Amino acid sequence: MTGDPNAQSSLTDPVLHVANKAEDDAGAGLWTVAFRRLRRNPGAIVGAIIVLVFVLVAVLAPLLAPYAADALPGRTLIRPTFIPGPSDTYRLGLDRYGGDLLSKLIWGARASLLIGVLSTVIGLSGGLLLGLVAGAFGGKTDVVAMRFVDLMLSVPSLLLAVSIAAVIGQSPSAVVIAIGVVQVPIFARLLRGSMLAQRGQDYVLAASSLGLSRRTVVLGHVLPNSINPVIVQATLMLATAVIESAALSFLGLGGGSPTTAEWGRMLTAAQNELEVAPRLAMWPGVCIAVTALGFTLFGESLREALDPKTRKR
């Protein structure tokens, strides 16, 4: 019996497909292989599209928004028990103060992107410095640095951010600094652990045996091979930064007036209008959730693409 050739072909096709992918990835760089895997991952594509749309809306806000961020074109139409809904002039309706809701959402994207990026840069910079010192020197330096990190991680992140922002003062800068400080121990612990894993590798021992200085070995060999997990975590922390910035603004720590075009402030302003116009809270909430989802999907997909344990999938 020779069997059904079509059935045999259907069984061998997946095997050949995996073999072809392995051949394509052989000899390619880590990020090249990761990019190829991201292109085949639906979650990565969806996340990248969401992030790209979010970034474009934020950058092009002056061109996309029908009105300025502080404009109140419909203030004469507002009544105590009536807030105009969507119309030809105001596509998503007005808010309690007479501002165009669509314009507020677009300008809010720019504010959220700015806070997210700046806070992540602060957290990444501080975490890299602390993790580099702990991972490079070890010993008592490592112990002191990690106890400081453990102390910061013992406090819930949102509570710590609220405390820092309250001490600094109610302003967007306070929100950026608060979120950035909260992210420092996360990046520090991740980089330190990655560096400790790399320090025992053969290439490190070979470099040390050749007489290279510790600075050269750490900065030229260990750090470049330890940075990938930190980059992935930075992508994920952007999602957290957007959510936490909205939370701090919702609590009134972001400064600004009730008419400020920022998603968290918009949620705060909509609290008393839920029965009259629930859309005032719905649209900022949807923007926050979708943006965080985009960063999370892309970050998790990037983590899988760079994970050696899943390279053969």
Residue 6: pLDDT band by 50, 70, 90 thresholds?
low
Average of per-residue pLDDT across 39-51:
93
Q: Is residue 1 part of a domain?
A: no
Distances (CA, A) of 187 to 95, 230, 253: 39, 6, 25
In-domain check, residue 198: yes
pLDDT tens digits, residue range 88-142?
899 999 998 999 999 999 999 999 899 999 999 999 999 999 998 888 888 888 8
Q: 174: which 2 tokens?
A: 């306070």
* Residue 124: predicted pLDDT: 93
Place of tokens 């260990």: 222
Q: What is the model's pLDDT at position 17?
A: 45
In a domain, 199, yes or no: yes
Do the domain assignments include residue 39?
Answer: no
The predicted model gives 31-52 an average pLDDT of 90
Q: What is the mean pLDDT of residues 174-178?
A: 93
Compute the CA torsion angle 262, 45, 231, 151 (nearest 10 deg).
60
Best-predicted range by mean pLDDT (64-73, 200-209, 304-313): 64-73
pLDDT in tens, 233-264: 999 999 999 899 888 988 888 877 777 888 98
Residue 103 is assigned to a structural domain of this protein: yes
pLDDT of residue 25: 53
- Give the per-residue pLDDT at 22: 45
CATH of the domain at 238: 1.10.3720.10
- Counting residues of the chain whose pLDDT is more than 90, the rounded percentage is 40
| Mean pLDDT of the chain, nearest integer | 84
What's the domain range around 279? 51-73+93-310
Q: Is residue 213 in a domain?
A: yes
Q: pLDDT tens-digit profile of 257-308?
A: 777 888 988 888 888 888 888 999 999 999 999 999 999 999 999 888 887 6
| Residue 308, pLDDT score | 62
Please list, in sequence order, all residues whose beta carbon lies within 8 angstroms of the beta carbon of residue 193, skipping any fewer than 6 positions away. none
Q: Is position 10 within any domain?
A: no
- Domain assignment present for 126: yes
Q: How many domains does the chain have?
A: 1
The arithmetic mean of pLDDT across residues 178-184, rounded, is 94
Region 154-171 average pLDDT: 89
